[in-house]
């Protein structure tokens, strides 16, 4: 299973959000470029960068992300405010290995499909779910879409994967956190990346044994140092043990 250490950027700083509240960001006083380098030093081969300011569109962290792309020896997945095929292409030209579409998939799905067909295996569909509905605009607006039917619209599109965030999982117990991701992973043909699900090494182990979970995003736990990335990668990369058969 692939782990995606994640850096969320707001006003040029590394932050973490609880339940998507942009105004209540937890700020980490570390250099984003150095943090990306630290992730690579620990063994990460892929990193995710999310530009929270670009969601509103008034400003962005484009220059900082471009620097990370140039200086980081890893595949970098960029998300936040990407709404058109042209915007996706610009990030690919800047060195991004993959791009993440979120709100655009609900507001302009053809843009996402066009980008995926033009850049096969390079587009990630982000699906944020709260109380059974797909959310957009940085988790602030509910759509009329149920997550399963929403994802089904993209089942034949050559996506690199579907990144699913259960917003309710931020306050739920372990079993509740696994319920939605298990259900959705079983009903899509696309590889699934679990987001917001990892706070302990045991969470990584549990996700490995669910069907069709290709990867997991890990962010806040790394900044809080409740998880060591080197140890997390070892758990993610370890072979899945086959369950014994009982006769």
pLDDT tens-digit readout, 191-236: 999 998 899 999 999 999 887 899 999 999 999 999 999 999 999 9
Name the CA dihedral angle for 49, 147, 166, 208, rounded to a multiple of 10 degrees. Answer: -80
pLDDT averaged over every residue in the chain: 91
Domains in the chain, please, with CATH?
Answer: 2-237 (3.20.20.70)
pLDDT tens-digit readout, 58-97: 799 999 999 999 999 999 999 999 999 999 999 999 999 9
Look at residue 174 in the predicted model and tell me its pLDDT: 56
Question: Could you tell me the CA-to-CA distances from 4 to 117, 141, 166, 176 in Å, in that order?
Answer: 24, 26, 17, 22
Name the band, by pLDDT with cuts 50, 70 and 90, for residue 56. Answer: confident
Q: Model-level pTM?
A: 0.92
Look at residue 207 in the predicted model and tell me its pLDDT: 93
Task: Output the DSSP codes for 7-65.
Answer: EEEETTEEEE-STT-GGGPEEE-S-HHHHHHHHHHTT-SEEEEEESHHHHSS---HHHH
Name the band, by pLDDT with cuts 50, 70 and 90, for residue 32. Answer: very high
87 near 115, Cβ under 8 Å?
no
Name the band, by pLDDT with cuts 50, 70 and 90, for residue 237. Answer: very high
50 near 7, Cβ under 8 Å?
yes
Q: CB neighbours (10 Å) of residue 90?
A: 14
Point out the least confidently predicted range of 21-35, 80-94, 103-117, 174-188: 174-188
What is the separation of C-alpha 58 from the centre of its chain, rounded to a whole number of angstroms? 23
Locate all alpha helices (DSSP H) within the chain, ordered by sequence. Answer: 32-41, 53-56, 62-71, 85-94, 104-107, 109-118, 147-152, 174-185, 201-208, 220-223, 229-237
165 near 159, Cβ under 8 Å?
no
pLDDT tens-digit readout, 103-124: 999 999 999 999 999 999 999 9
The CA-based angle 173-194-219, given to 5 degrees, is: 85
């Amino acid at each position: 299973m692939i782990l995606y250490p994640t850096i969320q950027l707001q006003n040029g700083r590394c932050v973490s959000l609880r339940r998507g509240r942009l105004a209540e960001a937890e700020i980490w006083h570390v250099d984003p470029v150095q943090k990306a380098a630290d992730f690579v030093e620990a063994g990460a081969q892929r990193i995710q960068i999310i530009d929270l300011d670009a969601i509103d569109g008034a400003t962005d962290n484009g220059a900082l992300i471009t620097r990370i792309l140039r200086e980081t020896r890893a595949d970098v997945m960029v998300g936040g405010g990407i709404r058109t095929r042209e915007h996706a292409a610009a990030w690919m030209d800047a060195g991004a290995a993959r791009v993440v579409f979120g709100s655009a998939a609900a507001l302009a799905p053809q843009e996402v499909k066009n980008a995926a067909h033009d850049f096969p295996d390079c587009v990630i569909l982000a699906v944020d779910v709260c109380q059974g509905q797909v959310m957009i605009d940085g988790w602030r607006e509910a759509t009329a879409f149920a997550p399963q039917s929403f994802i089904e619209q993209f089942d034949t599109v050559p996506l690199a994967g579907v990144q699913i965030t259960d917003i309710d999982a931020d306050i739920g117990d372990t079993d509740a956190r696994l319920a939605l991701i298990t259900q959705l992973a079983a009903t899509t043909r696309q590889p699934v990346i679990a987001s917001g699900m990892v706070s302990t090494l045991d969470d990584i182990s549990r996700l490995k044994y669910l069907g069709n979970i290709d990867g997991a995003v890990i962010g806040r736990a790394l900044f809080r140092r409740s998880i060591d990335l080197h140890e997390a990668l070892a758990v993610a990369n370890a072979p899945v043990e086959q369950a014994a058969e009982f006769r």
